[in-house]
Amino acid sequence: MSEEAPSANPDPPVPALSGLQPGVKDGRPVSAGNGRFLSALLSFAAGLAAALIIDYLLYRVGLPSKPFIYVAF
Amino acid sequence: MSWPPIRPGWFFFGLALGLVTLGWLGRYVGRTDYHPGFVRFNQAISPEGNYFPTVDEMCAIARGCCRPDQVLVVVGGNSILYGVWQMQQEVWTGRLQELLGPRYCVVNFAFRGAVPADCGAVVAEALRDDFPRQIYIANEAPLTGEDAFGSAPYRFVFWQAYFSGRTLPFAPRDRQVRRYLSDRAHWNEAFELIFKEETDRVLHDTDFWNWVGFRHFFTVVSRYSLEPERRFLPRSEFPDDEVDGNDPKWEGVHYPPAADALETNLVFAGARLAYDPTPHGWRLKPAFHDDMLRTFGEAIPDRLKARTLILLGRNSPHYWNLGSPEDQDRGVAVIRDSVQLWRRAGYAAIEYGRGYSAEDYGDRAHLAPSGGRKLAAEVAPEVRAIAERLGYFK
């Protein structure tokens, strides 16, 4: 087994970011700033979606479970 | 992990902002009249279609229809006042509006199977400060009374107003409500109610989703959404499907011979239990008398009784004429006594239907358009008399 030679052009060092690692897109590194922005955007959108779902569920749980069928006497 | 994870701060910020925005939107649309050209709550926009109009929604309709210089006439009650057998362009409340003229504004908040204390009564009570010059009209079967906080299918309207503090303090009704909610059999319902009404008071979710369901797409399954292509149609696209009871094509439907015995029994059976024969005619049994007087007295808050008109109707002559002379005699006493009891309880009350023909009815109790016109002609002078008595035009 041949030992792999160390790369002549190693990846640039990973910056220490709070919980975020830079991604790679189209073969090019995505900056940590973009990652943070995407993360915040995604989190915010998820929060909005959760609000919509909660609001809808609150509406639905308030509806009677049995249908009202009118019968005239 | 290459994809950015959820960041709790942003997530909860989005959640809070979303709920606040939806709450604001619900509050906004709830106070906007989004039922242009409103005539009545047809079946697609009533509990029968799994659509539950809110107090705010109904108040917005009334505000949208009625100018401050008009006397607001709210019509509540059941399917008879709703106008079963009357297409919406010929519904009796339209005729009533014509007869009363521009000084009055008639709004039809009657629902099928509702009682005098249901929806229309609650909305009129909630609007008592916005429209202090108002008249409430409802109907009830003779010798019949219900809880002061309405009937079960439509009680959601009362609960909305009650939990948001829009009902008047009224000791008999408050006592009934406390007794109902503290009954162990209703604890689950009470818990759900309090949770639902408190969240709705803050988030206005029912108002928001009613608006979405009426204007954009409806998400709740009902008999109106059984066909896949109509599954999500907004309720504004469903026509009022009431038919014209005077149209000859329905002739064989009004009084099916097979139903004669049952319907005639419905007209007369209740009175047989409640009346005693005396040498001077039929006399309502004291127990029934006292119970009815108490029930009628507790139906509407005292402050609002004087502006309330209760209509008590005769059934179709088709069935009336099938009764025995004794049944008919007693039937006359039933309506006469019911009118007197409602009056003694503090309301205006009249009998309608005297002299109507079988063709004026679509079935035993509901009026065809010709009957509706006669009803409007009987009600209009009473409405004017109440307005006069209460000094609405001084």
CB B150 within 8 A of CB B107: no
CB B334 within 8 A of CB B275: yes
| Res A15 pLDDT > 80 | no
Strands (E), chain B: 71-75, 104-108, 134-139, 275-278, 281-284, 308-313, 348-352
Q: How far apart are CA B40 and CA B35, in angstroms?
A: 10
Task: Provide the pLDDT confidence category of residue A64 given band limits of 50, 70 and 90.
Answer: confident
A61-65, B136-140, B210-214, B248-252: segment of lowest average pLDDT: A61-65
Q: How far apart are CA B128 and CA B108, in angstroms?
A: 17
Chain B residues with beta carbon closer than 8 angstroms to that of A55 = 18-19, 22, 203, 205, 208-209
Q: What DSSP element (H or E) covers A24?
A: strand A24-25
B42: tokens are 């047809």
pTM of the full predicted structure?
Answer: 0.90
Chain B residues with beta carbon closer than 8 angstroms to that of A69 = 48
Residues 6+ apart with CB under 8 A from B378: B350, B352
Q: How far apart are CA A9 and CA B260, in angstroms?
A: 98
Chain A residues with beta carbon closer than 8 angstroms to that of B84 = 72
Of A21, A48, A68, Cβ closest to residue B47? A68
CB B141 within 8 A of CB B116: no
Q: Looking at this predicted complex, what is its ipTM?
A: 0.89
Residues 6+ apart with CB under 8 A from A21: A14, A32, A35, B1, B2
Of chain B, the percentage scoring pLDDT greater than 70 comes to 99
Contact A62 B113 (CB under 8 A): no
| Res B63 pLDDT > 70 | yes
| Res B88 pLDDT > 90 | yes
DSSP label at B103?
T
pLDDT at A30: 59
A interface residues, B as partner, C-beta within 8 Å: 19-21, 23-24, 35-36, 38-52, 54-56, 58-64, 67-73
Phi and psi (nearest 5°) for B279?
A: -60, -20
Query: What is the per-residue pLDDT across B359-376, written as a single tens digit (0 to 9) for each?
Result: 999 999 999 999 999 999
Q: How far apart are CA A20 and CA A17, in angstroms?
A: 5
Chain B residues with beta carbon closer than 8 angstroms to that of A40 = 7, 10
CB B82 within 8 A of CB B72: no
pLDDT at B226: 74
> What is the sign of the dihedral through the CA atoms of B280, B283, B286 and B289?
negative
> Is pLDDT larger for residue A14 or for residue A49?
A49
Contact B19 A67 (CB under 8 A): no
Beta bridge partners of B73: B106, B135
| Res B1 pLDDT > 70 | no
As a whole number, mean pLDDT of residues B192-197 equals 92
Tokens 């002559």: give the residue: B317
* Gyration radius of chain B's alpha carbons: 23
| Res A23 pLDDT > 50 | yes
pLDDT at A17: 42
pLDDT at A16: 45
Contact B222 A67 (CB under 8 A): yes
> Is pLDDT larger for residue B361 or for residue A66?
B361
**Mean of the per-residue pLDDT values of chain A:** 72
Query: Would you list the DSSP string of B175-203?
Result: HHHHHHHHSGGGHHHHHHHHHHHHHHHHH
Select the residue from A59, A61, A65 to test the B interface by mutation, using most B Cβ atoms within 10 A.
A59
| Res A32 pLDDT > 80 | no
Contact A47 B203 (CB under 8 A): no
Chain A residues with beta carbon closer than 8 angstroms to that of B267 = none
Task: Provide the pLDDT confidence category of residue A36 given band limits of 50, 70 and 90.
Answer: confident
pLDDT at B47: 93
Contact B14 A47 (CB under 8 A): yes
Task: Provide the pLDDT confidence category of residue A9 given band limits of 50, 70 and 90.
Answer: low
Q: How far apart are CA B112 and CA B53, in angstroms?
A: 14
Q: Which of B210, B232, B236, B241 is nearest to B60 (CA)?
A: B210
Residue of A nearest to B195 (CA): A62
Contact A64 B47 (CB under 8 A): yes
